[in-house]
Amino acid sequence: MKHIKNSVLSLVLLFLVSACIPAPLIIAGGAGGGTYAFTSDHIKDKFDISKEQAFETLIGIITSNDGKVVVSSIADGKIEARIGKSILFVRIKPLNERTIEVSFRAKKHIELIPDKETSIRYYRLFIKEVTK
């Protein structure tokens, strides 16, 4: 226990003596930013439709809402689209012959900041279209 106290005291003194008082703030701030960048902007749900039908529906929703499809691959089950200053990532994974899993994830600006609002908006639009 004495060694731990000495180690902690040594680290504190090292920061104070070396004039690096802001160092803990910088380190903690970096960790906080990393945590924020990985917060949940991911929505996942299962639907009883075909992969092809889901893919076509999503492409239609994105283009009718002023989105620009950047990457689309029905074989890989992925769609990437630019919507304003955000990027929407959609993955479609077949679970069996009748059921698929669709996941929505969006990032703002330079793909670091989660955009939960865009994920939720397109998820709701997809549900509305599929349940007609």
Would you say residue 9 has pLDDT above 90? Answer: no
In the chain, the DSSP E strands lie at 42-47, 68-73, 78-83, 86-94, 100-108, 113-114
Token pair of 53 as six digits: 């039908």
Structure tokens at 51: 């992969």
The predicted-structure confidence for 54-89, as pLDDT tens digits, reads as follows 999 999 999 999 899 999 999 999 999 999 999 999
Q: Is the pTM of this model over 0.75?
A: no
pLDDT of 47 > 50? The answer is: yes
Rounded Cα gap, residues 54 and 62, in angstroms:
12
93's tokens: 């994974």
Domains of the chain: 2-35 (no CATH), 41-130 (3.30.530.20)
Rg (CA), the chain: 22
